[in-house]
Structure 1
């Protein structure tokens, strides 16, 4: 019995050591991939603008590198103690019959109360942070839209995800909420964006002229990329007006932001010069704000 117990303890220890080495190797590979991805990505801004900070792009990259390294360290500090705890439990399992049942019940109940009540938010956010870190759904430097906040992911800690909003505010989201909510990631697989702008015209307008004007407004922007010609659609025939869309390609979310602004600005002037009336209840041209959220000018 003793020899079997010693063999069991040795096997459990070897399995635990192997698991720790494997986890450390995988964390190193994940960290390396994220560092390479971060270095290749530029610019790391949701809106192209002159920064009040000298060499802001490099500062963002440096902060991202520091955040990735810190994140890997935190994950390592969570996983290794967890694996060690599992090893200790596994080693101690054969000795449980010799421990009084009352003592085991008291210990389990105390741990349950502490973990379930006092530390529940921290544990929940830590586990969700681990899931986010190991998944590929969100990475530092990604351009995202979370609960109407448009910006770039600046930091992913063990408990929170920090998003640098387009106007330089920081929007901090608990990891549990981040994992549970629906959000848009403009950089998940690529950064190309098919930007669309919505606007309304009256039924008296010549749609051929409207189509030509909208396409010219998109094609004339410096941020338009000619992967294909801009597209125009009539989306709805309302009671008192016609809802139209024009769409064109941009190379990145920041270029898409500027492209949408260029299209709206040019459309306002061009439609006014050509005497084309917008709908009386939709007098303001509308479009994605930011990049996908429809804002209706009523």
Structure 2
């Protein structure tokens, strides 16, 4: 009788000890998850501060790998916690394969875009097409690459706004990367002058406007090219080189204003649209002359009123 009671007590003690062990394992795993999460944030900051300044491409790769490995480790730890309290969750290899297939189909349908963005993010990082710190032009906006995450890339625009671009869009879009070779970029201004204006004077005015700007480089020198003949104008384009893509829109605005002032100095006309009217009947010609006469007389009266006032 005594031995039976002793055995029962011993077995219950073992169960209690096993329960304590399980609680200890769960507590340890929970602490490990928290520590791993905090360590990931610290390691990411360390890589950005130490490695990112010298080798931004290497920093991007290390951060992405760190995020992937941390995510996998946390998932495995959470699975181990559930397995401790629910041993039945330990599936056989066959069941695991079947479950993985079903989950793959579900996640493939529900998170197709997210998986595509994650794969695109890895391609971006390993191909080094875009790196953290690069100066890029995306959809006509000059921006700095602030961070490349697993599914999206953070761009900081000139006005301080930050936008999140899915990595798949970044991979499939035409992006100008000013940091890939050097940061020299041409600020351009396109303008049309009338056919009656002196072409040499117009080109001289545009070159002067570029040379007088303090941010425009002397080498390569600014140049003006003729882009075509329009219906009302000869179209010219100024190319002025600068070493900071971030201020390109500001430089182009400054050059546009200076060119406008230079054109007034050199009597270069920016034309209005013109139309040639051909009237075949005498009655139509008379009406056109009367209409033009009325418009001219009203214009003269308006100018006279301005002078009197």
TM range (shorter): 0.5 to 0.7
Contact 1:211 1:232 in 2 (8 A): yes
What is aligned with 1:251? 243
Q: Could you tell me the TM-score, scaled by structure 2's length?
A: 0.59
SS of equivalent to 2:180: coil
Query: By how many angstroms is 1:256 displaced?
Result: 3.3
Query: Which of 255, 271, 284 is the matching residue for 1:263?
Result: 255
Give ranges in structure 2 of 5+ residues lacking alignment.
Answer: 1-46, 75-91, 275-309
Cα 1:281/1:133, change in 2 over 3 Å: farther
Cα 1:183/1:174, change in 2 over 3 Å: same
Quote the Cα distance in structure 2 between the aligned partners of 1:246 and 1:222: 16
When the two chains are superposed, the root-mean-square deviation of aligned CA atoms in Å is: 3.2
What is aligned with 2:28? none
Pair 1:234 & 2:252 matched? no
Structure (1/2) with the larger helix percentage: 2
Query: Which of 13, 38, 53 is the matching residue for 1:35?
Result: 53
Cα 1:267/1:115, change in 2 over 3 Å: same
Cα 1:255/1:150, change in 2 over 3 Å: closer
Quote the Cα distance in structure 2 between the aligned partners of 1:148 and 1:154: 18
Cα 1:149/1:254, change in 2 over 3 Å: closer
Which one has the largest radius of gyration?
2
Cα 1:117/1:133, change in 2 over 3 Å: same
SS of equivalent to 1:35: coil
Q: Could you tell me the TM-score, scaled by structure 1's length?
A: 0.61
What is aligned with 2:102? 110
SS of equivalent to 2:113: helix
Where relative contact order (Cα < 8 A, 6+ residues apart) is larger, the structure is 1
Query: By how many angstroms is 1:171 displaced?
Result: 1.6
Quote the Cα distance in structure 1 between the aligned partners of 2:97 and 2:150: 31
Give ranges in structure 1 of 5+ residues lacking alignment.
Answer: 1-29, 39-64, 82-97, 283-298
Query: Which of 135, 142, 155 is the matching residue for 2:134?
Result: 142
Residues 160-207 of structure 1, C-alpha deviation per residue, up to 9 Å, x if partnerless?
111111111112111122112222212222101122211111101101
